[in-house]
Amino acid sequence: MTALDSEEGPAVSERSGEQAVLEVRDLVKHFPAGRAGLGLRTTRQWVRAVDGVTFDIAPGETLGLVGESGCGKSTIAKLLLRLEDPTSGHIVFGGEDVTAFKGKSLLAYRRAVQAVFQDPFASLSPRMRVRDIISEGLRIHTDMTKDEMARRVADVLDMVGMRPDVGRLYPHEFSGGQRQRIAIAKALALDAKMLVLDEAVSALDVSIRAQVITLLKDLQRELGIAYLYIGHDLATVSYLADRVMVMYLGKMVELDETVALVDEPLHPYTEALFNAALPAHPDDHDHLDTADQATAEVPSALAPPPGCHFHPRCPEAMDVCSSIYPAAVTLQTGRRIACHLHPGD
């Protein structure tokens, strides 16, 4: 049993053994979704967007988060960024539970954990010059002078491979890739310890995407910054992430080092997800059939199937799967998995 299997434990990363930059424990987010039933016998319904998820991220590490639409990836991003409050559970950063943060402590947390979203055009104000966009956080969070802010803006533009004089331009004067560089510069201006990258390169052309991924890797090496990378493109996630966590209907189903997970997925959902994205061979009809079955139809998070939520689609489902949800266990290899086929060592 590891620290993360217990309710309480030392704040160290499962992966590296060093102090985790961020720990998430039993995180739950349920959204109200109206009422079901008739007359007085109605009951409130809940969407179980995130349902008891536990993971950590080490300094300088990239954790990839994958799963189909509605699996809870984006809700986790909003919870980590404190754009949503959790129903229960803990988000521990710097040894403190940030779910209780308000006022100054929340401001300091938001300074340390920044986000880069898929569409930089939506996240960069079109009426502001780039230098004002990047220095906005500096004005809020620091008492820097104008000259100090100008130097910091020039520094972070240089870090993302842009000339300082582009600071006088507006976002519409840049390409998509350049705008994403500006969004990264804005996130770095306050010396963030962690970036939440929510589909951050998904909208870019393939060649530009490769450049931005290289930039993210270089910055991580240089600054020791941690990334949570949320994406649906498994090739990008596999390239960027040190570890990958697979989610299904609000729950973690498998988590391991990227190479081990891609080489040998153990959970039938992970296997189907990877096979659907990356068939081993065009003539591999068995794999494709399994992938089709497993990825055909996602049940609603409003009424997830009883037992293992994946059982109606699982090619390996057993009797127990339809009645008992499999506990998440840590195998001797370090892999975390929730599946009755792998009850633990």
Nearer to ligand SF4, 227 or 269 (CB): 269
CA 217 to chain CA centroid, Å, is 16
At residue 50, what is the residue type? Answer: V
Can residue 66 be called a binding residue for ligand SF4 (CB under 6 A)?
Answer: no
CA angle (102 as vertex; 100, 103 as ends), nearest 5: 165
Buried b (16+ CB within 10 A) or exposed e, 132-168: bbbbebbeebbeeeeeebbebbbebbebbebeeebbe
Nearer to ligand SF4, 59 or 326 (CB): 326
H/E run at residue 215:
helix 206-223
Minimum CB separation of residue 230 from ligand SF4 in Å reads 22
Nearer to ligand SF4, 79 or 328 (CB): 328
Can residue 136 be called a binding residue for ligand SF4 (CB under 6 A)?
Answer: no
Minimum CB separation of residue 53 from ligand SF4 in Å reads 17
Q: Which of residues 273-312 bind ligand SF4 (CB under 6 A)?
A: 308, 310-311
Can residue 321 be called a binding residue for ligand SF4 (CB under 6 A)?
Answer: yes
* CA separation for the pair 345, 339 (Å, rounded): 13
Minimum CB separation of residue 67 from ligand SF4 in Å reads 14
Minimum CB separation of residue 224 from ligand SF4 in Å reads 36
Q: Would the CA dihedral through 81, 96, 226, 137 be positive or negative?
A: positive
CB atoms closer than 10 angstroms to residue 3 = 18
* CA separation for the pair 212, 208 (Å, rounded): 6
Q: Which two tokens stand for residue 260?
A: 């081990």
Which of the ranges 137-145, 163-171, 186-194, 317-325 carries the binding residues for ligand SF4, by CB under 6 A? 317-325
Nearer to ligand SF4, 29 or 267 (CB): 267
Q: Which of residues 241-270 bind ligand SF4 (CB under 6 A)?
A: 267-269
Q: Which of 79, 291, 314, 328 binds ligand SF4 (CB under 6 A)?
A: 314
Minimum CB separation of residue 229 from ligand SF4 in Å reads 24
Minimum CB separation of residue 268 from ligand SF4 in Å reads 4
Long-range contacts of 289-293 (CB under 8 A, 24+ apart): 290/315
Residue with tokens 């600071």: 167
- Contact residues toward ligand SF4 (CB under 6 A) are 267-269, 308, 310-311, 314, 316-318, 321, 326, 339-341
